[in-house]
Structure 1
Amino acid sequence: MNAAFKSFLIRALAGAFLLLLDPVSSFAAPTPMLSASDSRFRYEGRFDRADPAQPVVIWAGDRISVDFEGGALAVHFGPATGQSFFNVTVDGVTAVASGADGRFAWPHPLAPGRHQLRIVKRSEADAGHVVFRGIEVAVGARAWAPAAPAYKLRLQFLGDSITAGANNEDAEVDQWEDRRTHNHALSYGFLTSQELGADHRAVAVSGMGIGEGFVPMRVAETWDKVYPRDRPERVDRSVWVPDVVAVNFGENDSAFPRTEGRPFAKDFAVRYVAFIRSVRAAWPKAQLVLLRGGMSGGANDPDLRAAWEAAVQELEADDPRISHFVFNHWTGHHPRVADHRVMAAELTGWLKRQPWMAPFRVGNH
Structure 2
Amino acid sequence: MNKLKLFTSAFLTLLVLVTHAQTLVKFNNPKVYYMGRTPMSDSTAQLSWTAASVIINFNGTTVKATMNDENGMNYYNVVVDGKVAKVLKLDKGKKEYELISGLAKGPHRLQFFKRTEYDWGRTWFYGFNINGKLLAPPAYKHKIEYYGDSITCGMADEDTSGKDRGDNDYENGYASYAGVAARNLDADFRCISKSGIGVVISWFDYVMADIYDRAYTHDTTRWDFKKYTPELVVVNLFQNDSWLTKNKEHEQFKKLFGTTPPTPVFIITQYQLFIRSIRAKYPKAKIICTLGSMDATQRGSPWPGYITKAVAGLNDNAIYTHIFPYKNTNGHPSIKEQQVMGDDLTAFIKTKLKW
TM-score w.r.t. length of structure 2: 0.82
**Deviations for 1:296-334, whole angstroms, at most 9, x for unmatched residues?**
13435634344333323312xx21111101111424311
SS class of match (2:126): strand
| Letter in structure 1 aligned against 2:284 | K
Residues 56 and 129 of structure 1 are in contact (CA less than 8 Å); yes or no, is this contact kept in structure 2? yes
Name the residue aligned to 1:181: 170
Pairing of 1:243-258 with structure 2 (within 5 A): 243-258=231-246
Structure 1 residue 40 corresponds to structure 2 residue 40:
no
Residues 97 and 104 of structure 1 are in contact (CA less than 8 Å); yes or no, is this contact kept in structure 2? no
SS class of match (1:192): helix
Structure 1 residue 167 corresponds to structure 2 residue 167:
no
| Letter in structure 2 aligned against 1:50 | S
Q: Closer, same or farther in 2 for the Cα pair 1:31/1:196, shift >3 Å?
A: closer
Residues 73 and 137 of structure 1 are in contact (CA less than 8 Å); yes or no, is this contact kept in structure 2? yes
Name the residue aligned to 1:320: 317
Identity between Structure 1 and Structure 2 (%) = 26
Name the residue aligned to 1:273: 272
Aligned length: 322
Structure 1 residue 237 corresponds to structure 2 residue 225:
yes
Match of 2:99 among 86, 99, 106: 106
Residues 250 and 298 of structure 1 are in contact (CA less than 8 Å); yes or no, is this contact kept in structure 2? no
Residues 80 and 99 of structure 1 are in contact (CA less than 8 Å); yes or no, is this contact kept in structure 2? no
Pairing of 1:138-149 with structure 2 (within 5 A): 138=131, 141-146=132-137, 148-149=138-139
Taking the aligned partners of 2:188 and 2:61, their CA distance within structure 1 comes to 30
Residues 77 and 103 of structure 1 are in contact (CA less than 8 Å); yes or no, is this contact kept in structure 2? yes
Pairing of 1:20-31 with structure 2 (within 5 A): none
Pairing of 1:1-365 with structure 2 (within 5 A): 33-51=24-42, 53-81=43-71, 83-93=73-83, 94-100=85-91, 102-106=95-99, 108-138=101-131, 141-146=132-137, 148-151=138-141, 153-171=142-160, 172-177=162-167, 179-229=168-218, 231-261=219-249, 264-266=261-263, 267-300=266-299, 302-315=301-314, 318-330=315-327, 331-354=329-352, 357-358=353-354, 362=355
Taking the aligned partners of 2:67 and 2:32, their CA distance within structure 1 comes to 15
Residues 53 and 112 of structure 2 are in contact (CA less than 8 Å); yes or no, is this contact kept in structure 1? yes
| Letter in structure 1 aligned against 2:319 | I
Q: Closer, same or farther in 2 for the Cα pair 1:112/1:352, shift >3 Å?
A: closer
Q: Which consecutive unaligned segments of at least 5 residues does structure 2 have? A: 1-12, 14-19, 254-259
Q: Closer, same or farther in 2 for the Cα pair 1:156/1:32, shift >3 Å?
A: closer
Taking the aligned partners of 1:36 and 1:67, their CA distance within structure 2 comes to 14
Q: CA deviation at 1:213?
A: 1.2
Residues 78 and 130 of structure 1 are in contact (CA less than 8 Å); yes or no, is this contact kept in structure 2? yes
Larger Rg: 1 or 2? Answer: 1
CA RMSD of aligned residues (A): 2.5
